[in-house]
A and B are shown apart, each in its own frame.
Chain A
Amino acid sequence: MKTHQYDVVVVGAGGAGLMAALYASRRARTAVISKLYPTRSHTGAAQGGIGAALGNMEEDHPEWHTYDTVKGSDYLGDQDAIEFMCYQAPEIVYELEHMGLPFSRTPEGLIAQRPFGGHTNNVTGKPVRRACYAADRTGHMILQTLYQQGIKHGLTFFDEFQMLDLIMVNGRAAGVVALEIATGEIHIFHAKAVILATGGWGRVWEITSNAFTLSGDGAAIVLRKGLPLQDMEFYQFHPTGIYKLGILITEGVRGEGGVLINDKGERFMDRYAPTVKDLASRDVVSRAIYIEIREGRGINGQRYVYLDVRPETVNKYAALDGRTRPDGSPYVVTAEELLAKLPDIIDFCRTYLGIDPVTEPIPVQPTAHYAMGGIPTNIKAEVLADEKGTVVPGLYAAGETACVSVHGANRLGTNSLLDIVVFGKQAGIHAAEYAQGADFEPLPADAADFARSQLEAIRNSKGNERIADIAAEMKRVMMDHVGVFRTEEGMQQALEKIRELKARFKHLHIDDRGKIFNTELLTAWELSNLLDLAEVTTVSALARKESRGAHSREDYPKRDDQNWLKHTLAWMRENGQIELRYKPVVITKYQPKERVY
């Protein structure tokens, strides 16, 4: 066993982790641990854009961005945090540009911006161009740029090291236990401050836009440490995943004028969101698609609808909507322009569907996409231990794994890339500052015991349950019952299933008992994390007897501010029971009102 010592240890090298590390390393000895090579983090898959009211294309204000985000969150987002993020946005986008990020450009040479769901001109209610983009590869450019900066500034990386446990001493974070994947050796990273930036957990669901490796490790570890997770019932389904595969088709496609069409050839979003139509927020559009499918208007009666971005369709509806270019001329697109703005989307469709979206519509269905909930933090990215806001000294979280909460019950597109850089930066700054004023806690002798016993239990398991089978059953039941629409009965069924699967997990069939690059072992360990998160999600969702944002209950179809304008906190107690408590939402300027698009 090897032991390392750093002032700050960052776990995760996506946008959040890299930004945190760049800032922490300015003032403190910092190491970054990542189970993937940094450039393979899922931030690289983000397509459409990062939100900031630069006003490069038309009038826009951070205040409008703030209001849109509050409204998008279905009033569950904390308004102080949202305001902080939206006002930081222009500055941080310029900061990324100064790091060399190759944004697409306007004819004047400014950062180009496109419309995205839920982002509006607060006066007219019409979509506003706020998403700063680099073609449909914005996440790739952010990830590459931040990693490049990491090389430039000599950051210390431990690539393909997987965190297995968090070391807590006297209620403070004291380090991390990690496995060096290539050797199977356990390492201890002794630290004054730990920043968790391990990303989301879309792999809980069957159809997802998320990578295989998004198994919520950081969140699950925190949960097992006796700390709470917040708002876990709010999981976003993106309306447009490629049918059956779940691969994301960015909202930018609708931003460029693409429309959703049902089997009757209707542009059905007209009926669900008369003002912004196809650019309503994601929860609204996903539900609309489900209803169309359920009422028999899926294409050929199947479980998908069309996303139509053929120039003739785009131009027809743009004319009907009276859409114009920034100079006031009518909005008209050509196939060449679409190719230039959406090259990867077109490539995905050609590769995986064998169709060309410029000449054929794309079959899509909602896909599990983004965790609004996660490890509770405040604006300084400090992890919170309870509903009173007590800070866990030395522990920080940022990015998708954290819940500040800026997304509340539903995230607006482009706000996650913003969140990861804004709060990644905060985590880096505050962790370094904390480390400068703190000592190392002495390490307990048994620091690695729990992680080791977890791995050994799997390695020596002698049952006949296949990892892949348990995973498939979990994904299926969560998709069916804890997805876009939910009911008491369905979720109870899901909960029973998850508990059954957790019991069966103790009897795994394992082929690979070796040490070197044992991905079977790690896949099993990741599955245990997914099962815990699936359970917490379901229990939190069962308790919330209302519909809000992404949490849509058919048995309680209305939002209930009287009883439910509050955040859920969920603990997993030692006996495995899940305990729920609640804390109020921070409301500053915007009183909750009905949400219509």
Chain B
Amino acid sequence: MQVTLKIFRYNPETDKKPHYETYKVEAEPTDRVLDLLEKVKGEQDGTLTFRRSCAHGVCGSDAMRINGMNRLACKVLVKDLGTDHITIEPLLGLPTVKDLVVDMEPFFEHYRSVKPFFINNDPPPQKERLQSPEERARFDDTTKCILCAACTTSCPSFWLDGQYVGPAAIVNAHRFIFDSRDQGAEERLKILADQFGVFRCHTIFNCTLACPREIQITKAIGEVRKAIATGRLD
């Protein structure tokens, strides 16, 4: 089949402002959108710029807006879109560097701000710290995050104010707050109780819909809020 791609283009070295470029490519219904971007770059226009690495939805490089939805280009097949017209744009809420590449630094800054690392100041045992399968399951969902930024950049609260830590940072805090081995919950909850923390979330669910790993983000945010409100982690 033939597919028409309408792609957001902006090269700060040559363009005063962004514009859209249209390309036609031959595609199989089972092609990934990333395959089509590669095709355009390889066969028609080498200047088209985007990030990609793993090509199967595990590294988080190629989150972008595909027909208006935040998606990983490598995890959407042409047939999933139900149309032969595909519009591709960079993520919203982060500065565009070139074409589909955005500046990830503000995103990672928020991520780092929630202490996304294991805290346990007791001397470790000789072998593993014990954890029951149930305790392990408690935070399984939020261990899946690949930091692609699809959630944070789909969030109207984040668009409104980039100082909001955003769903991805909360997800990564949740991963440790509910880990039975971790001792840093209190510090993290304090950070997230701040004016730019969890209470900016208006449960709009965009993040949950955008997550390519199907993490129940809104639920995770709710659990963190509850922990702040009740001071308990159950």
Contacts and interface: CB of A to CB of B under 8 A. Distances in A.
A108 to B, nearest CB: 8
A511 B47 contact: yes
B42 interface: yes
Contacts of B42: 466-469
Interface string B45-58: 11101111111111
A481 interface: no
A145 B143 CA distance: 10
B16 interface: no
A160 to B, nearest CB: 9
B124 to A, nearest CB: 4
Nearest to B41: A520
A102 to B, nearest CB: 5
B61 A151 contact: no
Interface string A504-522: 0000011110111111100
B233 interface: no
B212 to A, nearest CB: 9
A522 to B, nearest CB: 11
A40 B57 CA distance: 11
A102 B136 contact: yes
Contacts of A290: none
Contacts, number: 159
Given A40-B60, A100-B179, A103-B128, A151 B46 contact: no
B2 to A, nearest CB: 19
A87 interface: no
A344 B58 contact: yes
Given A44-B59, A137-B144, A141-B143, A520 B53 contact: no
Contacts of A141: 143
Interface in A84-108: 94, 97-100, 102-108
Contacts of A135: 140
B6 interface: no
Interface string A54-76: 10000000000000000000000
Interface in B111-140: 112, 115-118, 120, 124, 126-133, 135-136, 139-140
B53 A104 contact: no
A122 interface: no
Interface in A200-215: 211-213
A352 B77 contact: yes
B83 interface: no
Nearest to A93: B128
Contacts of B49: 512, 517-519
B58 A514 contact: no
Interface residues of B, number: 61
Contacts of B13: 514-516
B128 A94 contact: yes
Given A100-B118, A100-B176, A152-B117, A514 B127 contact: no
A45 B55 CA distance: 10
A45 B117 contact: no
A404 interface: no
Given A511-B47, A520-B41, A102 B143 contact: yes
* Secondary structure type dominating chain B contacts: loop
B131 A212 contact: no
Contacts of B55: 211-212, 247
A443 interface: no
Contacts of B61: 36-37, 40
B230 interface: no
Interface residues of A, number: 62
B205 to A, nearest CB: 21
Contact of B56 (A37, A110, A352, A467): A352
A42 B54 contact: yes
A195 interface: no
Nearest to A157: B108
A516 B53 contact: no
A348 B128 contact: no
B181 A100 contact: yes
A39 interface: yes
A97 B146 contact: no
Given A109-B130, A468-B43, A514-B13, A351 B75 contact: yes
Nearest to A511: B46
Contacts of B147: 37, 39
A18 to B, nearest CB: 13
Nearest to A102: B143
Contacts of A587: none
B146 A44 contact: yes
B87 interface: no
B113 to A, nearest CB: 10
Interface stretch (B17-25, B96-104, B187-195, B217-225): B96-104
Interface string B2-31: 000000000111100000000000000010
Nearest 5 A/B pairs, CB to CB: A100-B118, A468-B42, A511-B46, A109-B130, A148-B117
Interface of B: 11-14, 30, 32, 38, 41-43, 45-47, 49-61, 75, 77, 97-98, 101, 103-104, 108, 112, 115-118, 120, 124, 126-133, 135-136, 139-140, 143-144, 146-147, 176, 179, 181-182
5 contacts: A40-B53, A45-B54, A110-B128, A145-B118, A520-B47
Interface of A: 36-37, 39-42, 44-45, 54, 94, 97-100, 102-111, 134-135, 137, 140-141, 144-145, 148-149, 151-152, 182, 211-213, 245, 247, 344, 347-348, 351-352, 354, 466-469, 509-512, 514-520
Given A107-B133, A517-B98, 14 more contacts: A36-B59, A45-B56, A94-B126, A94-B128, A100-B182, A140-B144, A144-B143, A152-B117, A211-B55, A344-B58, A469-B42, A510-B46, A515-B13, A519-B51
